[in-house]
Structure formats: C-alpha cells, structure tokens
Structure 1
Amino acid sequence: MGKVKFIHTADLHLDSPFKGLMHLPEELFQKVWNSTFRSLERIVDSAIKLNVDFVLMAGDLYDEADRSIRAQARLKKQFERLQQADINVYLIHGNHDYLGSNWSHLDMPDNVKVFDSEVEEMIHETSEGTQVHLYGFSYDTRHVLDRKIAGYPVAAKGGGIHIGLLHGSEAGETTAHEPYAPFTLKELKEKNYHYWALGHIHVRQELSALPPIVYPGNIQGRHRKETGAKGCYAVTVTDEETQLDFIETQEILWEKTSISLKGINKLSQIFDVCRAEIELYRKEGGTLLEIEFLDTEETGADILNKIKNGEVLEAFQDGEEHQENFVWVHSLRVQESNKLAYIEGQETFLNDMIHAVQSWDEQEWDDVSSDLFHHPQAHRYIDALDKTEKEEVKQSVLSMLAASFSIKGT
C-alpha cells in the first residue's frame, strides 16, 4: 500500500468577526482579529517542517459567502508558500464558503485543487510512487441537506490509499451546528477508505479508530463557547497503522474557570484568589478568560454589586492589553443562588411572571428569538443560545425579579 503523510484541517473561518469582543482595547483587538491568520500560518509551517505529501482542507475556509479580499490574499500567500515547498492542497468548500455565492475572487496557485459540487475523485501520487485516491465534493449552496455520502464510491481493496473528504454531520446527533450532508458511521465504513477527513463540527473528535473518522475542529476558537486547544492533525498512513498527531495552532485560547467564594467575604481576598487563578492561564500567546463565582451566599451585597456592575472586571483588565502573553478576563459571572418561588394561594402579578419564565420551552425560545438570530446581518455576529445559556438567561431573569421585588426563595 505504501505510505502517505498529510495535514488534515477544517473550519478555518478566516476573518471571523469574533463575536462579543468589539469593546476590546485596540492593541488587543488587532491580535484577536488576526488570530485566524496566525493559526493558518502555523498549519503551513507544520506542513513544510514535516514535509507532508499534501494538505487536506475540509470546508469553511472563509467565515462567510462574501469572502473579504484581505482573507483571500492571506490564504493565497500561504498557498504560495506550500507551492514553493512542492506541497499540494486538496480542498472542499462547506456551508460558509459555498461555491454558488457571488463574490469577487483572487485566483489561487496551481497547487490548489478544489473539488466540484458533485462527488469526484482526484489522484495524488507521492514522491515515492504511492497512489492516493481522494474523494469529495464542495457545497454549491449554503444548505446541503441531501445524503451526499451515497455518491462516494466504494474503494477497491489493494488499490492504493483511499481518503474521503466530507463537510457534514453525523445523522441523528444533536450539536450546535446545522445537520448538513448527514451520514452514519456505518455508511462511512462501508466505503472501505483508509481515512475520513471531516469538517463542520468545531469540536475535535475521533468518531472511529478503524478506519480513522476524524473532525479536527476549527483552528482558532472564536467565542466563549469554543474553549480549549484548537488545531489540525498530522496524519501518517502506512501498511501497518494510521498515526494521528494533533498540532495546536491557536493564537488565542478561550477558557472558562469557576472560583468558589465560600468563606470569603473580603474584596482583597477575592482579588488574591482571582489573581492566582488568572496566572494559571498565562501561557504563550494570549487567553480570553471567563470567570464564574460560586458559593456567594456569604459574600456581601456591596462586593457582589461591584462584581456585577463591572468595577472588579475593570480592575483585572487594567493594563493587561500591554502584556505579551495576556490573560484578558472578558466576563465575570455570579452563579445566582436566589430563586423565586410561587406565593401559594395568591394570584399576583409576580406569580404570573415567575410562571412565564419557568415555563419557557424550546419552541417559545425559537419563536421569540427568531427575528434576531435569523436576521440577515445579525446572524453573522451571534450564535443561537444553547441549553446552558438559555438556563443562564432564565436564572438571571429570576434574579432580577427577586431583586426588584425584594423576595428570596427558600
């Protein structure tokens, strides 16, 4: 069968708007804004250093159908670096960068091979003479709901190395991403490929070991829900095994931590505990950190007010933008312990509001929020709320009601 070594990456989302960070200091905002491009550079650095046979990109290179010239120019420059190293790029387009949109484009170098809107095969021959059969398709519209997996051919045994590229999601799985180009693991395995290079899901996942069916996740977290290390895979396929090595590429980490204030009732104590926690996240590059305070029953109302009104947050942020390896606390949250309960036997306006809040269901959320989250301009800057965030909103509303009516639940 021979041997092949390649980089598998997906969901670059170049020039992403980075939701919720428009009020960063200018110096810090520039670092964040350029972070997807720095991550791309690290991928190319790794490909050249490892002397891979080719690079696979499994969709969503850009963040929107209307690619910015800046993003295209940056991408072209990196493709040219790979061309100089005699490394081909095989890519598919996904739901964010689909083929059919009208956009002014820059021509890419000849080493870049783009799959068409129908499943097709491309053959790459390595310098050692190994034939690699690559199969994939690009989205021609934003919403591809068909089971495109049916169009992938079954690989003949003993005929080189076979790799599938697919931007889509596992059928029946509940994720934050829309269910495009659905497939089942059984369907993928039946194709007899040596590796499946997936894209679309931003969380790194290995759905199967034999054969490897892999989501590398996105290359740079772009908001508070995309925490932890981000990157790509270096993959080596041989006669005996397939080896996967994860390569971190993020310029900036998004992280979240919780701090218990149990037994802490002085502002200076909170500062000391938080400073120690913040330093744990100081590492090469930068970190955008969210802190949630737990067990605040013994914390004085004055201190809690200073946390909630932003005074404490401003103190932690002061001067941090000038640090080379910054830890920018972008959010301080207090886990609300106050809960409202019905006043039994009474018909009150407060009871009506409590009932309305506590009975919100998924359909009501969608009905109320659809104008915002489906707005043609706004949807680029906000994500639909997940279950955890909906619960946070609900508890915040109940907390505001408790404060407004000076009532605490039991």
Structure 2
Amino acid sequence: MNTIIAGIENNQANFDYTMEELAALASADNLTVVKEIRQKLEQPVAATYFGKGKAEEIKTASEIYDAQLLVVNDELTPTQIRNLETITNLTILDRTALILEIFASRARTKEAKLQVQIAKLQYQLPRLQTGKKDQLDQQTAGNAGGGYTNRGAGETKLELNRRVIQKRISNLRKELKELTKNHAVQRQQRQKNQLKTVALVGYTNAGKSTTMNQILALTGAKQSKQVFEKDMLFATLDTAVRKISLDDKKEFLLSDTVGFVSKLPHQLVKSFRATLEEAAQADLLIQVIDGADEHAKEMIATTEATLKEIGVTDIPMIYAYNKADKSQLTYPVAEGNQITYSARQVESIELLLELIKKELFKDYEEHTYLIPYDQGRYLDLLNQQASISKQDYLETGYLVKAEVAPKLAGQLAQFLSE
C-alpha cells in the first residue's frame, strides 16, 4: 500500500532518527513509503495535529503519489484522526497503531497473541467510532498475518463498544495470568536449582537472536535449540530460554527477550511486562547494540528507559556493540563491561562468553579439597559441577583443586585442605 509518513518537529533532539525509524516500521508492516512530509510546530494542532496548510499539502501529495495511507509519527487523538481523514481523504494510522499492527503480525505463541490483543483493545477503547475509515474495526484474535490490510477475523463493528471491549480485556488478562503462572513456576524451579540467568536485551534488530544462536552453536547445543532470527524489526516477540553448558562445567540460562523501539506504546510495555520478567529476574543483562548504527546512543537510551519502566534496575549489564563487521571499529575487543564484536564471528562469541563468565561467576571460589576414598560421592559432585584444575591421589584420599559454586563450596567445607 502506498504510504505517506509525516511528523511534527517540535525541538526534538532525535526527530530525524524517529522519522527514519518510522519509515523502517512502515516497511516492516509491508507498506511502501512514497513520500515523507514534515512540519515545524511548537505544539501539534489540537484538532488536526498538523496545521491546515500542511494537511492540505498531504492531501495533494497523496494524489500525486497515489497514496492511500498516512502514517503519523506520534499517537493521535480520536478527533485528530477523524479530522485528518476528512481533510486528506486518507486512512490515518498513528505510530502506536502501526507498532501494534507489526506486533500482531509477528505474534506466534499463545502468550504473545494474548498480549498483543490486550494492547490493541486498550488502544482502541478511547477511539471507538473515530472515523469513516474504521481502521481498527477488526481486532486481531490470533492474527499471524502481515501488513496493514491483513487484520484477520475479529470483533465486528456492532460488538465494538466499551462494555464488550472491557469485558474482553478482562477475560484475556485472566487467560494470560494463567499462562504467566506457569512461567513463574519455571523461574522458581530454576532459582531452586541455583542456575544463574543471563538476559539479552536491546533494540529490535540489533542482533540478539543471532548472538544467542551463535552462543548455542559454539557451546554444542542441538540445531533444534536455535531461535528464529531475521534481518527485520520485531522478528520475534517470544522470549526464548536456553540452557548453556560450558566446557568447565559451568552452566547458565540464556534468554532472548522482545526488542525495543523508541516511543514503544505504553499498552505494549504493560502487556509484555510478564514476558520481560526474564530480564527483571536475570543475574546479568547483555544489552546488544547495533554498533554500526549512527543512532546507537539513542537506542541505548530507549532500551534503558524501557527497562526502567518495567522495573528492571540494579542488575549488572554488559554493553555488547554488535555488527562491528559493518563498521570501521576494531573487533573483537573487550574492556571493562563493554565488548565490540560481530555475532557472525566465532572469536567474537568466544570473547563475549569469557566476559559473561567473568561477570556471572565472580562469586565462584577456588579451593583445594582432600576427600577420603570412602567419600567418593563428593568427588563425583566435583566432576559433575566444578572445574577441576588439579587432582592427585594420596594415601588419605583424593587431593583436588577446583573452582566451585558457593553452594557446592558449603557442601565441601569439611574437606578443605588449605
């Protein structure tokens, strides 16, 4: 569908960036951007968002470029949508609705679909009967298709009233709560097993899934454990959790969370809060950043603002600048809590793993133990759970030097030989 994108510049420091991003979001929804229009205003016009002259300019541009859709860089009021439709004779889609559409087309699991449905219905509540186009008159109900024109079956116009939608939201939330209970139980079990957790967070399309897959491949995970990856915004919305087993017997859980974007709709952040619990409960965060993108600083700011909104604070973080192969940066290089790397390079992933291990297992202890021969089960524990650097056989038992987790160190304290 031929589409015009438009926005108001009101002294925003990152306005150019958000407009570039809006074009990318439109492309992600299978829309063809034929024209970009901007207006400088201190504040949007209450009734029409754009000034009257600019709205007429948009109408003229739509006739020249044969456009059917106008995508606006902010969230609009019902009045603004209705009036812009009247003036321009175009279907109007604001930034929030566009992102919601993309999420609807990407949702695969039942949980993700429920989250998107709740967010879309929350967005729709104040916008009932906004205009003749009724752009949201079919709410997705498990829609997995792509593009603005492919909404899937949903609520009919007669059903679109506040009471019905509120009841629908309530029912969807109950259903989602049952699903998230299972996730909570799984997290509790992992905590009981004292498995440390690492969460990949960051901007959409920064390379989180690619990084995860390369870590899985390097550590010998089966091909079936790989997660979906594609060079597109919001390629996946589903949090994937995989167990990583290292050569030195250390293990941790790695999760790949949903990507962020500037002006991420509040409805979505709220709906995906349960999914993002993987990040909130992590022992270590890896913020994957597109190091080749000139807007990397803005992406970092967006990610950290979103994490703060969902209550993710005071968790150690590694800043992982990916896609160095597409820039002039030297890689792989690690310094402090930062790494410059390429997820496609084995040496980069090896260095990233070393950085993860250094941060994640810094509470591990190295001790020497003398284990009597009749207490061989404790040697078995060391062989299964610890990294043994030296082992000798003495008259009195096994002399073993090993790096162990705090829990195991407590179990073996009686055999310390230091």
Q: What TM-score does the superposition give when structure 1 sets the normalisation length?
A: 0.27
Greater radius of gyration (CA):
2
Higher RCO by CA contacts (8 Å cutoff, separation 6 or greater): 1
Q: What TM-score does the superposition give when structure 2 sets the normalisation length?
A: 0.26
